[in-house]
Structure formats: C-alpha cells, structure tokens
Amino acid sequence: MRTAVAVVGTTRVADARADRDAQVSALFDQHFGRLRDLAYMILGDRDVAEELAMEAFVKTFSGWTRIRDVDRADAYLRRAVVNLCRSRIRRRSIEYRVNAVTYRREERRAPDWDPERHEDARRVWAAVRDLPPRQRAAIVLRYMEDLNEREIAEALDCSVGTVRSQLSRARQKLKRSLGAEELGDG
C-alpha cells in the first residue's frame, strides 16, 4: 500500500512539474519581452535588464508546484522585476556593458531615425533615471506601462496615496530638471 502511494505520488509530482514547466514557458513567451523592457527603462542597461527579467521568473515560480492563479502572474512578475531593479540600484553594483550596448544601438538605428526626436527622448529618459528609485519606477509604470495608481501601488508594494505623492514629486522634479517648456508645459 505504501509503495502504491509512493508511485502515485511520484507520477503526480512529475505531471505537476511538467504542467508547471509548460505554464512557465507560456508565461515567459508572453511576458518576458515586456518585463525586460520595463527593467531596461528603470535601469538603463539592456543586459542587466534581461538578467533581472529572467530572475523575476525564477524567483516567482521556483517555490510553486503549480501556478494556480495564472491571471495574476503578470502582476506578480511585474512586482518582482520592480523589486529586483530597486535592489540592484541599492546594491550599488556596476556594469561594464554600457559601451557595448551603446555601440550596438548606434549600429542598428532604424531607417526612420530622427536624431532630434531621439535626442530629446534620451534627455527626458536621463532625467527620469536621475530620480530616486521608487519615483523612477513609478514614472515608468505610469507612462510606459500605462498602469493606473492601484496597479502601480501593487507593483511598488505601497499605498495608492504613496503612489500619488511619488508621481507628483517626480513630475515636479522632471519639470525642474528639464524645464517646463521642453516637456510641453509652457
């Protein structure tokens, strides 16, 4: 009897593992690119962003035998990416790949490359990356990910009120650092 239970259990665990792998694979294909872009916009390093997006999947799903709430996986992953980005900023790590990334970008400019437009965008992005980590993440989640305040609060693990104040402070700083006119506020 005990043997029978063990065999059934082993089979079930193996089946569950295969199911979980299939679920993770599907979620990976669906969300990886967007999560990598989110990390990139917060950190500014493409390779680190890729590494953190992958780590978000590992952290989120390695403890689970089966993903029960697939609809919520997107929110879990987004929160994991934001947390990892903020940790990376805190950890004061360094990266050497910036030059390589810049080189690749220069080599792969799109045919419709508009220097003026892209330079303006980079100036804005540089100002965003000068914000404190939480404000930086809030701005990217609001303006790039199009999340509402409740969703941003979930990703940042804070209250909606905190999100409002962080976005307000961040906007004020951006206006100061970039000048209101440049961002169309004049």
In the window 135-154, what residues touch another protein (CB under 8 A)?
135, 139-140, 143-144
118 in contact with another protein (CB under 8 A): yes
Instruction: Compare residues 102 and 150 and give the one whose CB is closer to another protein.
Output: 102
When asked if residue 110 is in the footprint of another protein (CB under 8 A), the reply is: yes
Contact 16, 45 (CB under 8 A): no
Report how far residue 18's alpha carbon sits from residue 182's, in angstroms, rounded to the nearest whole number: 53
CB nearer another protein, residue 100 or residue 150:
100
160 near another protein, rule: CB under 8 A: no
The answer to the question of residue 116 lying near another protein (CB under 8 A) is no
Write down the least CB distance from residue 110 to another protein, Å: 6
Tokens describing residue 158 = 């804070």
Binding positions for another protein, 4-23, rule CB under 8 A: 5-6, 8-9, 12-13, 15-17, 21
The residues, ordered by sequence, that sit 6+ positions from 6 with a Cβ below 8 Å of its Cβ are none
Binds another protein (CB under 8 A): choice among 74, 75, 149, 169: 169
The number of residues that bind another protein (CB under 8 A) is 75
Minimum CB separation of residue 150 from another protein in Å reads 18
The correct pick among 71, 108, 111, 115 for binding another protein (CB under 8 A) is 108
- Residue 135 and residue 128: Cα distance in Å, rounded? 9
How many whole angstroms separate alpha carbon 67 and alpha carbon 121? 39
| Comparison of 17 and 150: residue with beta carbon closer to another protein | 17
Residue (of 79, 43, 74, 77) closest to 57 by Cα position = 77
**Residue 150 or 185 with smaller CB distance to another protein:** 185
Binder to another protein among 74, 75, 124, 160 (CB under 8 A)? 124
Which residues, at least 6 apart from 136, have a Cβ–Cβ distance to it below 8 Å?
42, 128, 129, 170
DSSP 68: S
Work out the number of other CB atoms within 10 angstroms of the CB of residue 77: 25
